[in-house]
Amino acid sequence: MEYELVRIIAEGGMGIVYEALQKGVDEFQKQVAIKIIREEFSSIKEFRENFNGEARLVADLIHTNIVQTYHLGEVDGQYYMVMEYVSGDSMEEFFVHHLETDQYVPVELAVFIVSRLCRALAYAHTKRDRRGRPLGIVHRDVNPKNILLADEGAVKLTDFGIAKARNLMYNKEGEVIAGKDEYLSPEQARMEVTDHRADLFSCGIILSELLLGYHIFEERDPEETRKNILTMDLPDFTELRDEIDPELNAILHKALARPREDRYQSAEKMLTALELHLYRDGYGPTNEKMAIYLKDLYGKKGHKAAELWAKKFGTPRKEKALAKA
């Protein structure tokens, strides 16, 4: 299979993601994304096995709300993953665009985005292998950078790089903190063994952030952020934004419950609560309505969110939002 790299989409400490063209016979071309592990990490067994484990894990995760993986390859000792190309922005860029333009994300669209995220997690959490055995997948890194909003309105979860699953992924729970500090569950912050409910706490953080325009737990010091996740009193969200009603406030409090036993016990149960809230009047957001909103949001000049994020880099979202209030 021949690939032509077009441009860099994203760079991280261990890898680079490119937009690319997959080429075939008779001028066949398909737009794809290619994730390449950096050369210096390809030679390290631990990183190589984790990268390859991610590819094997997501190969059979075929769901409309999960970025699909097509192929794992290797050239001269450098490993790469061929994935679905999503034209659009990350949720982080979407959020920052609202912040920079002094707009709230509409409540119904914030709930819609997180409901689609729950759909992806409900599928992943209950996925079984070809012998019918539960894989026990926990994403452990549900954060706005790993949620893509396609131009067509679809919400897609990506990057299972630090996910854990039975016999597939590299895992050192109890020894290191896995995940992005601002989006950890309490059990992750305490370096405890996680289960699927950890991802639902992250969904609660993301929903509150979309609704309020700032992250309720985030501080400049990561240790203070983790402390807030563990001990900070949850606010009455109805007092922070008029459009948040008591039912949605209750959903947020249940998703953000510190004891796992008090949270939603499955992504499906959280999805049901969100959809009952969204469609209680018989109608509500769809992918098509989301696509129209995205087109109106960015206008004819195209996506500006990446540039806006660069301007904002290093400033905590809460500080920025409160400064504008």
Query: Catalytic residues, which ones?
Result: 141
User: What are the angstrom distances between the C-alpha of 317 and each of 69, 220, 226, 234, 241?
Assistant: 32, 10, 16, 18, 17
Q: Helices marked H in the chain — which ranges?
A: 39-42, 45-58, 91-100, 107-125, 186-189, 197-212, 222-231, 246-255, 267-278, 287-298, 305-312, 317-324
Do 194 and 188 meet the contact criterion of CB atoms below 8 Å apart? Answer: yes
Q: Per the structure block, which two tokens stand in for 223?
A: 């240790």
Angle at 82 between CA 79 and CA 87, to 5 degrees: 135
Report how far residue 238's alpha carbon sits from residue 249's, in angstroms, rounded to the nearest whole number: 6
- Torsion of Cα atoms, 280 then 281 then 283 then 285, to 10°: -60
- Quote the crossing angle between the two packed helices 197-212 and 267-278, to the nearest 10°: 30
Chain mean position to CA 100? 21
Q: CA 132, CA 127: separation in Å to the nearest integer?
A: 9
R_g (Cα) of the chain, nearest Å: 20
C-beta neighbour count of 160 within 10 angstroms: 26
Give the CA distances from residue 304 to residues 10, 90, 102, 107, in Å, rounded to whole numbers and listed in that order. Answer: 15, 12, 15, 22
